[in-house]
Every structure is written in C-alpha cells, then in structure tokens.
C-alpha cells in the first residue's frame, strides 16, 4: 500500500472523528442555549471536515499511484511470460529442426561398389570393396526371412502369394 494512501485514510478517519466530537459539543451548547460555544464548535467541526476532505484527496492520489504501480508490475510480468514463451518456442523449433537432421554419417556408394564421397578413408574403401555387391543387377533383392519368438532365423519358406491381414 502506498504511503499517501495510508496517510490519507488515517488522516481522514481521524479528522472525521474529531469533527464528530466538535459536533457533539455543538449539540450540547445548542441545548444549553450557549451560542458562542455552539459557533466555536461548529467552526472546529467545519475545519475538521475540510481537513478530512484534503486527506481524502491525498488517499485518492495514493490509490491511483497504487493502481498504476500494480498495472506496471502486471505488464512487466506479462512481458516476462511472453518472452519466456518465445524462448520456449524457439527451443522447441530448434529441437524439431535437430530431430529432422540425420544422426549418423552417410556415405554414397557408386555402382562399382566404391565410396563416392571425398571424406571416406581407406578403411571405408576396403570395407566397401570387401562387401559382395553384385555389379550386374541394378537393385538388390533381399531373401525373405522369418524369425521365431527367440529372434532366430527360421528356415520356413514364405509363399509368393501370401495374404497379410492386419486387424486393429
């Protein structure tokens, strides 16, 4: 709470209480017929009400400052949240971009079975030459293999016209 707000509220309350006291004295003086005391008490009450109004104005100014300060804090927090979300979005986009990139090394092999890329070493060339790649066929056909539940190759033959049905 702003200092002006607190001072304004306390001052206004105190002055209203003092004006109530002065008004009590005024009522008693009127009942007794003492006009001089009644006028003096009425003057004190008016002064106290005027001071209470001044403190009320001060309290309103303090409340406006409090409101402005809270609004600025809220805007600053909102900007921090927006900036954090932007950073999180950038991080997510970077992660997505990184996941799209291949993780391993790639090598190109020509039809003759030799590596095409210039970065390949001699050992990679030897490995490529030692692999038996038939040079007379354009595509490689892998034989059909079945695996059993233990993960070993089963020697069963798959019929050429096999029909596969998947039910979900």
Name the band, by pLDDT with cuts 50, 70 and 90, for residue 165.
low
Residue 44 lies in a domain: yes
Written as six digits, the tokens of 64 are: 């406006």
The pair of structure tokens assigned to 62 is 């303090």
In a domain, 130, yes or no: no
150 within some domain: no
Number of domains within the chain: 1
Note the pLDDT tens digit of each residue in 117-150. 555 555 554 554 455 445 555 556 666 777 777 8
- To the nearest whole number, what is the mean pLDDT of the chain? 80
Judged against a pLDDT cut of 80, whether residue 41 lies above it is answered with yes
- The reply to whether 51 falls in a domain is yes
pLDDT tops 90 at residue 104: no
- pLDDT single digits (tens) 27-36: 999 999 999 9
Domain that holds residue 39: 3-100
Residues 6+ apart with CB under 8 A from 29: 35, 37, 38, 41
User: CB of 113 within 8 A of CB of 127?
Assistant: no
Specify the pLDDT at position 154. Answer: 74
* Residue 8 belongs to some domain of the structure: yes
Q: How far is CA 128 from CA 22, 104, 120, 134, in A?
A: 109, 17, 10, 12
In the prediction, which pLDDT does 128 show?
A: 47
Domain assignment present for residue 94? The answer is yes
Q: Average pLDDT of 91-107?
A: 78
Per-residue confidence (pLDDT) for residue 1, from 0 to 100: 75
């Amino acid at each position: 709470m702003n200092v002006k707000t607190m001072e304004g509220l306390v001052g206004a309350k105190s002055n209203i209480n003092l004006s109530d006291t002065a008004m009590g004295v005024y009522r008693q003086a009127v009942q007794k017929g003492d006009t001089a005391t009644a006028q003096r008490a009425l003057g004190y009450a008016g002064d106290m009400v005027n001071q209470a109004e001044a403190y009320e104005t001060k309290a309103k100014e303090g409340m406006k400052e409090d409101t402005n300060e809270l609004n600025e804090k809220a805007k600053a927090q909102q900007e921090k949240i927006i900036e954090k979300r932007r950073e999180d979005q950038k991080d997510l986009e970077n992660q997505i971009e990184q996941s799209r990139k291949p993780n391993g090394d790639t090598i190109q092999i020509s039809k003759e079975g030799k590596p095409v890329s210039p970065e390949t070493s001699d050992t990679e060339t030897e490995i490529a030459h030692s692999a038996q790649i038939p040079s007379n066929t354009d595509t490689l056909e892998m034989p059909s293999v079945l695996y059993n539940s233990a993960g070993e190759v089963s020697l069963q033959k798959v019929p050429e016209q096999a029909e596969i049905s998947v039910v979900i």
